[in-house]
Structure 1
Amino acid sequence: MSLQHKNNYVISADIGGTHITAAVIDLEKKMIIEGTRTRVNVDSQGTATEILESWSAALIQAYEKSGSPVQRVGLAMPGPFDYQNGISLIKDLHKYEAIYGLNIKLYLSEVLGIEAADILFRNDAEAFLQGEVVAGAGTGFRKVIGITLGTGFGSALSVDGIVTDLSLGSRPHQDSIADDYFSTRWFLRRYHEITGLSATGVSGLILTSKHSAVVRSIFDEFTVNLSLFLKDIFLNEKPDTLVIGGNIAKASGMFLDELGNRLTSHFKGLKIKLAVLGEDAALMGAAASFDNGLRLDILPSADDILRRDLFIRY
């Protein structure tokens, strides 16, 4: 995959807890090249080799589908992560612990034959919100908070189109951190605590919702917890819009109306919107790291990230 010249194309990828989605983006036209979308399942609790080979396979497949030379890569990556140097700092989050401390940038550079300087990483929630602000649910609003509800709890803030990571998932909540309460594993754990039964995902719980008062009560509890948590955040940030994405947002019929009622009772005029671009939002946001001229010198260092994460957790 050795390439000789720069062009407008970027291989972009959104790395989730169970899969990676990749595609080739045309930065000049601000669009995904049709036919290049590639999805590969990933065992986030697998070995480092299994994880990295799944990621590189998706990137290579997207590239091969494009039919055009590409020599830049942008990745939307969950944190904590040293985005400047491309080193994973994820641990104690039940995912990707096998790649802790590994330099993903150098690995991908060697495998793909792309200069390390042409591989950029961006927080996944930040990339998601960037995409939604540019071409989705957040378009036209000055101050937007975006949250992603899935295998983790992602969050970002957009002010006049400038998007930054909020890292709300690491903030204290009840007896742990927010990530433990506003993610898929909380639903599965709570369902097991109440019923003694196991479920494979939130979608499985939804299928039983019409027949299960327990599932409805779990969503009610989730809604109360999330509204109280966001209330404290909104008192400081005062956003005009909240954009909600992630796989749990697909179950919005179970919580969105009540969440809206609770938040708008405190914040008059607040707009609450579901994300509209799906995975395309993070793909566009990751590629935009090049388009926006993302300055690596102002990104936090690994020490900064670890200090912040430890401070927030403890």
Structure 2
Amino acid sequence: MQDEEVSGAEWLPFGRVTSPTLRAKLGNAALDGRPEPVNASALIFNGAGRYLLHLRDHKPGVIWESGAFALLGGGRTHGDRSLESTLLRELSEEVPGLRLENLEPYAVEQATSVDGLSVPMQVFAARWRGNADRLALHEGVLLRWFAPDDLDRLRLSPATRDLIRRHAAANPPDNKQAAAPAVWDGGSRTVLNGIGVHLHLEDSAGRVLLGLRHPNSKYAGDTWHYLAGRCEQESALACLVREAREEAGLVIDPMDVELAHVVHVVDTAGALPLMQLVFKARRWEGVPKVLEPDKCLTWKWWPRYELPDRIVPYTRTAITAITEGRPYSQLGW
């Protein structure tokens, strides 16, 4: 769903509808006399009886279903070939790491826009078995899995609640699938691994750069960690260079980077396995700055043998292994 305020833009039905052209299009009807959907949403389920819901930003009068749980999705633009294209574009913008299985049309529902207009919405159903906490969410507050019995405790539109329960009644949990790994390719049942990149920097005194993560961080709050990030549609080196620039203002030439260590991590039983790549930069430009204060409170150089007590376990493991010249380690297996 769109989280931006609409100011004259077309085909964004759940924002503030100010465009006369858009109002006219909302009144267009298909050959059967019913309005055509101009919005696409994803009813995402994991096969184990749970549904993925998106907590939207609290912006009353600007965002549809402000501050409530809703389905992921958004409004069609003129560049979208179809409503399926609309949905895939919206997902790539909102949750770039989300990869759905068996996406197919499920229902057309009526929703009410901020301005009180009745808007037809194409709902697609799709399966995903991943860990919602591992996704990089670019819009909204959070993503969580919920069982149908949990829905009455949530701020959720009655239409969305009924839609989920209707789907759940027709699609009972598959216990075999529920026991499968969090993410797999569906054919060979090979488990897919998340990829993270980490920057190992040492100053002239041999101290390692670490950042203190914000207490409200979804992962390792109030804990020291490498400068790190999750790969999007990019190579690991490109991700490392981008994260260093965005998080700390450091400019790194990929030619000055080498792979120093790999940690294969499973944080909790049944969680998505993570292949954590630790790269060492021989040279860089700039002084570490806090550019994303919602993620990192400060940067500090730490002696390798005097690391802080509150440090991400695999970060400590990697620093020790790099000091000892070991290329690989694993945790949680």
Higher share in strand: 2
Higher share in helix: 1
| TM-score, L = length of structure 2 | 0.26
| TM-score, L = length of structure 1 | 0.27
Q: Which has the higher contact order (CA 8 A, sep 6+)?
A: 1
Which of these two proteins has the greater Rg computed from alpha carbons?
Answer: 2
